[in-house]
Structure 1
Amino acid sequence: MTFSICVREQYEDDEGTEQYRFGVAVTTRLAGVGTLCPFANEYGAVATQSLVNVNLGRTGIEYLEDGLAVGDALEALLQADDGESQRQLHGVDKNGEFAFSGEECKGWFGHTVGENYTVAGNLLTGESVIDATAEAYEESKDEDRPLAFRLADALATGHAEGGDKREELHVQSAALLVRDTQEYPLDPSYNDIRVDATETPVVDLQETLALAQEGHEMAMERYEEEYEEDEMTD
């Protein structure tokens, strides 16, 4: 399973209350990666890949919700996993980051941990894919754009650097999730986007994001008062 990025961002809402958002994005040269790899809630974000064990992601974010630190949660899951040597698992919570790459993952494989983010990948053309993805996110942190778009752009940079080396596999996919501690009248639809089967996954992800943002803005313009009052009518 190719490469992914997990991110934590801290911000203040309009009332000056401290909030967090967590995001995860992934792309691979297989179909349906959004059903397997990315997991996020208001407590953190986790990605499971290489020889995928979906329960590592599902249980990982449940552990974060229960109050475990991301390192403690994911290390405990790996220690109980007989396939640990073939797994990649990484993520973030409010206070930290964690990344693991088993010694039997297929090369090139590896990960990096930065301030507030993690990036990991396997079956890549080289380490530069991870570095480029991380650098693209780092450069976007001060931009006034939704995290979902910046995550997709980070994937695009890694993909342009070489991405998944299995060029014989033309059916590809990409996905992203973003979750906030802040509550909204209507959660932005562009925070949960998947492209399940295509030959151009990252471009399609970016185009779908733009359409989803347009649709969200139209819905809020038309129905914002009804959403806020929770009395939406036809």
Structure 2
Amino acid sequence: MTVSLCVREPYRVDGDRQFRFGVVAAAAVPGIGALSPVVSSDGAAAMGGHIDDTLGNRLSRYLADGVAIDDAVEALLGAEDVASRRGRQLHGVGRSSCVTVSGRDCVAAADRDGDHYTAAGTHLPNEAALDAMVDRYTGAAFGDDPLAERLIDALTAAREVGIDSRRGDSDSDGPLTVGSAAVRVVTTESTDDRRFYNDLRVDASESPITDLETTYNAALLGYEQTVDAYGEPDAPSSP
């Protein structure tokens, strides 16, 4: 149903440590951007499997209260009944830790974790999609391009391998043809300008990842046009 990547990128501005948190996700059903990505200045997480639309808000509150993300996820899932917990996939990164959980009832599920990222998916034809996504991201991690752009590129690498056996396209005869994709990036650095390209969704499309990339390019152009027309209050490092 869902493939997703969560990342944490620390950096410094004027000697102060800052963080970029980001999530990119795609699904073979509409509306994944409204449910799966959970991103704040305290961390980034994504959900798959049986998604509870209240789980993200509760996780965000835990993180805002200073609870480590692995402890927060353990507490949230531990409070659920066994049947619900077995159907959950939840992964993410906080300021100092990461977590990956794939319940035993998640179909064709897999996950990955590193120092500053986690990746996961369900209904995967194989695990090569996760490896391709992680390899593409880690090859460009902490790069000069905006994080949102690098996340979308990583998602594109997963799509090129194949991310959902139920999706109907040129490579599969699955029953689902309409999917969705989303990217969201939050930085702890205080800025006076809104970066339009950091929070984008394609809610229903037969080519959601391609459309997300197109939407990102348009949003980046719109941001650059706005800066050219009205100026930029500050010149912070690129998120």
Deviations 1:169-224, CA, capped at 9 Å, x for gaps = 11010001100000111121110000011111111111110110111111122223
Which of 187, 203, 214 is matched with 2:210 structurally?
203
Out of 180, 183, 189, the position equivalent to 2:196 is: 189
Whether 1:38 aligns to 2:50 is no
**Pairing 1:29-68 to 2, within 5 Å after superposition:** 29-68=28-67
Whole-angstrom CA distance in 1 between matches of 2:30 and 2:62: 28
Report the alpha carbon displacement of residue 142 of structure 1 after superposing the two structures with TM: 4.2
**CA distances 1:129-188 after superposition (whole Å, capped 9, x unpaired):** 111111111111143100001100111111111111112211010001100000111121
Provide the residue aligned with 1:164 in structure 2.
164
Superposed counterparts of 1:115-134, under 5 Å: 115-134=115-134
- Distance (Å, rounded) in 2 between the aligned partners of 1:63 and 1:187: 26
Q: Which runs of 5+ in 1 are unaligned?
A: 229-234
Structure 2 partner of 1:232: none
Q: Counterpart amino acid of 2:119?
A: V
Q: What is the identity, as a one-letter code, of the residue corresponding to 2:91?
A: H
Q: Select between 142-151 and 192-201 the one with higher mean Cα deviation.
A: 142-151
Cα distance in 2, alignment partners of residues 142 and 19 from structure 1:
13
> Unpaired runs of 5+ in structure 2?
168-174, 235-239
Instruction: Name the structure 1 match of 2:73.
Output: 74
Alignment of 1:94-133 (within 5 A): 94-107=95-108, 109-133=109-133
* 1:19 counterpart residue number: 18
Q: Which letter maps to 2:88?
A: R
**Alignment match, 1:173:** 180
Q: 2:136 maps to which residue?
A: 136
* CA-CA distance at 1:94 after TM superposition: 0.8
Q: Distance in 2 between matches of 1:62 and 1:136?
A: 31
Match of 1:231 in 2: none
Measure, in 2, the Cα distance between the counterparts of 1:190 and 1:204.
13
Q: Is the 8 A contact 1:48 1:54 kept in 2?
A: no
2:107 aligned partner, one-letter code:
K
**Preserved contact between residue 9 and residue 142 of structure 2 (Cα < 8 Å):** no
**Residue number in structure 2 paired with 1:84:** 85
- Normalising by structure 2, we get a TM-score of 0.91
For residues 67-103 of structure 1, give each alpha carbon's deviation from its aligned partner in whole angstroms, at most 9, with x where no partner exists.
0000000110011122000000011111011010000
TM-score normalised by L of structure 1: 0.93
Distance 1:142 1:7, change over 3 A: closer
- 1:131 and 1:57 map into 2 onto residues whose CA distance is 26
